[in-house]
Amino acid sequence: MNQPFPLHGGVAIPTNDLWIAALVVQHNLVLCTSDSHFRHLPQVVKC
């Protein structure tokens, strides 16, 4: 089940994207994506 998770500010991010973001942050990785959901997560380092 991939229900969007509403963040502060009204932006809904799909659960799978949150899992990806959590792994990126936990392992100090850089995420290269064109998915606009990740723009709302400043903790995720993007290329």
Is residue 17 included in any domain, yes or no?
yes
Q: What is each CA distance from 25 to 1, 6, 20, 34, 47, in whole angstroms? A: 23, 19, 9, 18, 14
Residue 45 has pLDDT above 90, yes or no: yes
Residue 28's domain comprises: 4-40
Percent of the chain with pLDDT over 90: 55
pLDDT band at 13 (very low <50, low <70, confident <90, very high): confident
At residue 33, what are phi and psi to the nearest 5 degrees?
-155, 160
Please enumerate in sequence order all residues whose Cβ is within 8 A of that of 15, keeping only pairs 6 or more positions apart, or say none: 1, 2, 3, 4, 5
pTM attached to this predicted model: 0.77
Residue 11 resides in a domain: yes
Residue 45 falls within a domain, yes or no? Answer: no
Would you say residue 25 lies in a domain?
A: yes
Asked whether the beta carbons of 46 and 31 are under 8 A apart, the reply is yes
Residue 46 in domain: no
Question: 47 in a domain, yes or no?
Answer: no
Number of structural domains the chain divides into: 1
